[in-house]
Every structure is written in structure tokens, then in C-alpha cells.
Chain A
Amino acid sequence: MNKPELLYGERSSPDFARPESVLDYAATKALALDNVEIFYSLFEIPMSDVLRALPASLHPSIPAVLCTNFWKATESPFGPFAFAYVGPACRTGIKPRHMVTRAWCDNPVAAHYLLTHYGFDCKPAVIRCGESYERIRGQVLVDGKTLLDITTTDCVPIVGGGSVKYSPPLNLCLVDDRPLFAQLEVGYSFKRVLRGSLAAPVFDAKATGDIALTPSYAIAGTFAVCDVQLMPVRFAVDLTVSAEEGGAIKLKR
């Protein structure tokens, strides 16, 4: 029997800029944050676009999906901070993930921690995220320009957290001088969850990744208040090894 065709990312690994972030994966303590507000949204995007954006070490979800995720923590070891990221859904083996294509943070100390411990290469930005009587809204502004403005309206409560699944983000960073996608695993303890109708009044596709990914269909927005535990990175995916032959690598401390 002929080897079947498989659906993998088509972007060659040299097309990815060598990451500047170096992962400190020796860390063994989780970062605990209480009462974090998470505004997580999913859009469908054209499959042809996501195949151009993903490397061969990842394969896409079907249908192709893009997420935006805003976090606002009012208390943390770094003081209050908010961060946001964008990226297409992907799979490592059979596991659902998101490949982060752009991230922002409004607190330089928090940004450094996110960079060194989880590989988020956050750009400085003004990040607004919050819940009002009529909608959930997340915004990213850089130099006064709005790059992202995501809203969710007509929210309904979701009972418990069992219905909510956030796919772990993958950040391209240097691990022992190798470009790897570091996988952030987070434990969530949900206190309140809302789901509503999603819209993106502003989505600057060119500012959210090297390859423009433009939402074509809004799926849903979810707003949650939860306690989170950001675990030390345990797994990574080699940018240069095809998904068929690679998959997740367990980092050895």
C-alpha cells in the first residue's frame, strides 16, 4: 500500500526567524495566580492560510482555527499585569495545541518571566480586558494603534469548568540552543465561566504574525474567572522534525 498523504504544515523551518528567547526550563516551581480573568476566543480561518503558517512539525486542526487569548491578573509576584496572544490551533500527535504567532504584555517584569519560563516573546502593549454589563472586551494597542479589538456579547453562564478546554500554547524559543516549541501547561480552577457571541471589530492580521491569518468565521468567546497554576515547561516540539517522525519531546532537567 502506498504511504498515505498526511495534512501537515507547509512552512519550511528556515522561514521561521531564529528565536531570541531562551527558555529556562530548569525551573521546577509552578506560578500560582488567583482570580485571573481569561477571555478566550476562537475563529475559523482558511485552511490554506494555516498550512502556510504551520511548520511540518505540526499539523492543523480541521477545520482550521485561530485563537485570541487575554489574561488579566490583578495580583501576582510582578504586580498587576495583562497579556494576550494569538495563534492558530495545531496538533502535536493527537494533542490539541496553539502555535503562538504573537504575544503582548503590559508589565515588563511579568513579560520577562513569561519569556524566560514559558517562551512567550511578548511585545509591550496597552492591553485592556474586562467584563461590563453588556459585553466582554479585549483590546491590544501598540503606539496608540488598535491591533486587536475582540468582543463577546449575549453571554450565557456555563456551569462548572468541565465544559471548557483551553489548548496549551506553544512558543518557539531556544532550548539548549535548539529552536523548539515550548508547551505551556496550565491547571485551571474555574470560579465562573461565560460564553457568548463573538466579534472582532478590529483584527490587524499583519500585526499578529509573520503570515497574516484573518478570521473568516467567529465560533465563540469564553470569559472565565479562575485560579491558575502555570506549570514549568515539561514538553517541547522540535521545529525541524516532521510531526510524523517527531512529536512532543520530554525535557530532561
Chain B
Amino acid sequence: MKFGLFFELSTPRPFTTENQRDVYENAIEQTVLADELGFNSAWCVEHHFLEEYSHSSCPDMFLAALARETKHIRLGFGIGTCVPEMHSPIRWAEKAAFLDMLSNGRAEFGTGRSSTWNELGGFEANIDETKRTWDEFCRVIPKMWTEERFSHQGTNFSMPERCILPKPVQNPHPPLWVAVTAPGTELDAGDRGMGAIILSIADVERVAPRIAEYRKRISTCEPVGEFVNDQVAIANWMYCHEDGDYATQKGNELISTFGYMAGQTVEISEAYPANNYTALGLLGSLRPDPNAPDAGKKPPASGLCFGDPKHLVETIRRWEAAGVDQIIFMLQAREHLPQQDVLASLRLFARDVMPHFSDQRSTKMAVKA
């Protein structure tokens, strides 16, 4: 089991220079400490126009800053949006390879397609096409990294032959991932040989069948990249404190704050019914959990990592038994917790929880036959 950090860069109003800068600087400080403590990865989302919820419109720049401040921790796009109105796949290939160069081979590349009207509507994206464009991006980006020169005539993207530069440090290329919010996307990840980042605020037992199905699908996949990235990461929350009740209380406050911010966004299914958005995304899943048999009631959240070290060890053991390879933690929501408390939580976690999971697994790279 490996551990990482997951940054939304949520920011309190008013959006002053100080408030925005504090969020960025605090996140960098958390990552530097996590690097020293032995955490495996730090991921940064890409979001646009999500007031308070996420001021992380340029994850490549944030990750580049982390690359120069850290030594070992892996750096992930969590995720890059594969929608042509927002990005060309060429630019994603360039940015990820650039990060790989600046970090000396520590880049991870997560992909996704957004699920909010805020973002897709703001860019006037063709919402009906996002699944297809994501699929096409996933297939061309690895080739841009591995082929000296690349050309493509596709459905949503075409280009004449060019040499896309720089080439990544990692050979054959950075691991590929998919953000899994709506149920079913883990199957898309498995079919393509990509890692699954499952964003979950739910019971371990509810997610476990999805992980099992992912493992089945990836065993017979046709990888879009040069290797199969057979890994499941759970994006989760963590606040660790010696006083378990206090940690739970603070954790619930984080969830409540996150819910308030996420609740204001406009989900695609709320605004623009589309055949490729039949399930709620993460934000919508807060109202309510789409997997819950009793949807509409408050979702249970036994998989959340709020508590004292003993409780966290028990919770993580259950994630491990469910087949999770790594957990990447959200630590903040709109700077609700003082920075010193977040840093103390990381230190306590590293001291009293991580040693129970010292059998760190290395990244699986099954080179495509």
C-alpha cells in the first residue's frame, strides 16, 4: 500500500491575493513535508470556474513547482481534461513530458473529461463527444511520447507529422490513469490498461466490487500505452490525530465544507442531459452517493480516514483487502484546518500509520507483448 496527497486547491472567499497564495504555498509545504516523510505521490486536479471548490486551473504549473521543491515523490495530473475545446492532446503530451523532465522521471498522467456544466459549458465544449475525445486522447498521447515523429487522422483530432517534444524521461512513458467518478468508468480504465483513480467518499465494501471488476477487465485489456498500469488508487480524505473523536469531528467538518462547495456546481445531468453522462460525477455523487442502495439518505463513509492512528490502520487494512494499491488523501477544504494541524496530521500518519504498510509495492509495468 502506497500513500499520496490529492490537491483541489480549494480557496476561501474573498478571492484575495493572500487567500489564493496561502492555498498554493500551503499545498507546496505539505508536499515537501510528505516527500520527506516517505509519501509516494502528490496529485493535482484540473478544474475551471469552480469558485471556492478548486482554484487549480493550471496543474502543470503547480506540479512543476513541486518538481523543483521535492526529490522523490511522484507527481500526478489528477487529472488532465481530455476535451479539445480545453486542450489539444499535443499540449498534454508536451506538458506531461516536460514535467517528467523537470522531475527526472516522476510524472504520472491522469486523464478525464469533466462532469460539470461550469467547465464544459464555460468552454462551450461539445458535451456529447467528451467520451469519444477522451478515448482518442488516451490513444494518441502515448504515441506522441514514444514515436519519434507522429501524425494522426482521427475523429476529433488530426495533425500532420511532427516531432512532439520533449520526450519523457520514463521509458517507455509515464503511467496512464483515468479518474473514476461515475460507476462504470473503472471498466473503461481496465479495458485500456490504465490505472484507476477512484474518487470515493463511501464504504470500502461498496467500492470493492468495482475494483474486482476492474481487475478482471484489465487482465484481458488492450493497452493504449506501451505497458499495462494495473493499479487502483483511491482518492480519499485523511485527518489523523491522537484524539480519535476530535479527528472525526474535524474530518466531518472537512466533508461538510467540501459538500457545500461541490453542491453549488452545476452537474451536466442537471443542466444538459446527455447519453454519455448517465451517472452522476463526484460532485453530484455527494447528493447522494450513486452506489447507495438507500440513495437519498446520508451515505455511510466508513472508508474515510479520519481518526486516531489505530483507526486509520484498521481502515486502510480494509482498503488493502479490497485490492487498493494506493490511497491518495485530500487534506484540506477551503483552508478549514490550520496549516500546522495539517502538517501535524501528516507527521503523525507517517510515524504511526505508514510503518504498518511498509511492504510498498513498486509500480507494475507489464511491458506490452
Q: Which residues of A contact B (CB under 8 A)?
A: 1, 4-7, 42, 44, 59-63, 65, 89, 91, 93-96, 156, 158-160, 162-165, 167, 193, 195, 219-220, 222
- Residues from chain B with a CB closer than 8 A to the CB of A91 are 263-264
- Residues from chain A with a CB closer than 8 A to the CB of B12 are 4-5
Q: A7-B13, A94-B287 given as contacts; is B267 within 8 A of A162 (CB)?
A: no
Say whether A1 contacts B13, CB under 8 Å: no
Say whether B271 contacts A94, CB under 8 Å: no
Say whether B273 contacts A7, CB under 8 Å: no
Q: Digitize B50-77: 1 where CB-to-A-CB distance is under 8 Å, 0 elsewhere.
A: 1110000000000000000000000000
Give the docked Cα–Cα distance between A89 and B264 (Å). 10
Contact of A61 among B52, B265, B269, B287 (CB under 8 A): B265
Give the docked Cα–Cα distance between A222 and B270 (Å). 11
Say whether B286 contacts A94, CB under 8 Å: yes
Give the docked Cα–Cα distance between A89 and B269 (Å). 14
Q: List 25 A-B contacts (CB under 8 A).
A: A1-B336, A1-B338, A4-B334, A6-B13, A7-B13, A7-B264, A44-B121, A59-B264, A61-B265, A62-B266, A63-B122, A91-B263, A93-B263, A94-B259, A95-B263, A96-B266, A96-B270, A156-B128, A162-B278, A165-B273, A193-B273, A195-B274, A219-B117, A219-B272, A220-B273
Contact of A165 among B118, B270, B338 (CB under 8 A): B270
Say whether B266 contacts A61, CB under 8 Å: yes
Q: Which of B12, B50, B262 has the most CB of A within 10 A?
A: B12
- Residues from chain A with a CB closer than 8 A to the CB of B269 are 163-165
Question: What is the chain B residue whose CB lies nearest that of A3?
Answer: B12
- Residues from chain A with a CB closer than 8 A to the CB of B52 are 7
Say whether B278 contacts A160, CB under 8 Å: yes
- Residues from chain B with a CB closer than 8 A to the CB of A4 are 12-13, 334
Residues of chain B from 263 to 297 with CB closer than 8 A to chain A in the complex:
263-267, 269-275, 277-279, 286-287
Q: A62-B266, A163-B278, A219-B117 given as contacts; is B273 within 8 A of A195 (CB)?
A: yes
Say whether A165 contacts B266, CB under 8 Å: no
Q: Which of B14, B270, B277 has the most CB of A within 10 A?
A: B270
Give the docked Cα–Cα distance between A94 and B336 (Å). 18
- Residues from chain B with a CB closer than 8 A to the CB of A42 are 271-272
Give the docked Cα–Cα distance between A1 and B12 (Å). 11
Check if B260 is an interface residue, CB within 8 A of chain A: yes
Q: A5-B14, A7-B13 given as contacts; is B263 within 8 A of A65 (CB)?
A: no
Contact of B267 among A7, A59, A95, A165 (CB under 8 A): A165
- Residues from chain A with a CB closer than 8 A to the CB of B50 are 62
Q: Which of B262, B266, B267, B279 has the most CB of A within 10 A?
A: B266
- Residues from chain A with a CB closer than 8 A to the CB of B275 are 158-159, 163
Say whether B262 contacts A94, CB under 8 Å: yes
- Residues from chain B with a CB closer than 8 A to the CB of A160 are 278
Give the docked Cα–Cα distance between A93 and B259 (Å). 8
Give the docked Cα–Cα distance between A95 and B263 (Å). 7
- Residues from chain B with a CB closer than 8 A to the CB of A158 are 273-275
Say whether B335 contacts A1, CB under 8 Å: yes
Say whether B117 contacts A94, CB under 8 Å: no
Q: A1-B335, A7-B51, A163-B278 given as contacts; is B271 within 8 A of A65 (CB)?
A: yes
Say whether B263 contacts A94, CB under 8 Å: yes
